[in-house]
Amino acid sequence: MEIQVVEKEELRVVGISWNGTYSQTSTIPDLFVEMKGRLEEVVNKTDDPVLIAPFHSRETEFTYFVTKPVIKIEDVPEGMVGFTIPAKNYVFATHKGRPEEVENTYLQMFSWMREYGYEQDFQALSLEVYREEHIQQNSTGDLYYEIYLPVKKYS
């Protein structure tokens, strides 16, 4: 697995949010189904064929969003949220494999960060990016998506 640091530009997104404990993660796929069913409601969508899942982890729970990038945030549909993700440096990798292997991908990324002196920015959102071109792979049970972990400026 290739791991590297990348800079992402500011992103504006609109989508749905969920908050729960780590034992409730099995409900996350339903969020994608719900968001895909509501995409027509989102105005000013970009042409980028992706869903972006920003999330914020805490010790016992986390907040997970399933969003669509937009050109500008306006007329946010009822039950959705719209927000801007600031430009940021991220440690980036792509997860390719079974759902039960996801934790290992994250652990490899954390290990790489320690080895190269990067510190995660816990005040910023992490991102998972699901590209339309990988829908077929993801529907067969394997997962294929990009992971971006926010880092503080390297010193």
What is the structure's pLDDT at 59?
86
* Average pLDDT over every residue of 96-115: 92
Other Cβ atoms closer than 10 A to 92: 19
The predicted model gives 65-80 an average pLDDT of 97
Residues 148, 115: contact at Cβ < 8 Å? Answer: no
Domains of the chain, with CATH numbers? Answer: 4-150 (3.20.80.10)
Q: How far is CA 104 from CA 69, 99, 144, in A?
A: 28, 10, 14
What contacts 144, CB < 8 A, 6 or more positions away? 94, 95, 96, 134, 137, 138
DSSP 117: T
Nearest CA-CA partner of 133 in 145, 148, 125, 117: 145
Q: For residue range 59-69, what is the model confidence (pLDDT) as tens digits?
A: 889 999 999 99
- pLDDT tens across 23-70, in order? 898 888 899 999 999 999 999 999 999 999 999 988 889 999 999 999
Task: Please tell me the distance from the alpha carbon of residue 130 to that of residue 147, in angstroms, as a whole number.
Answer: 9
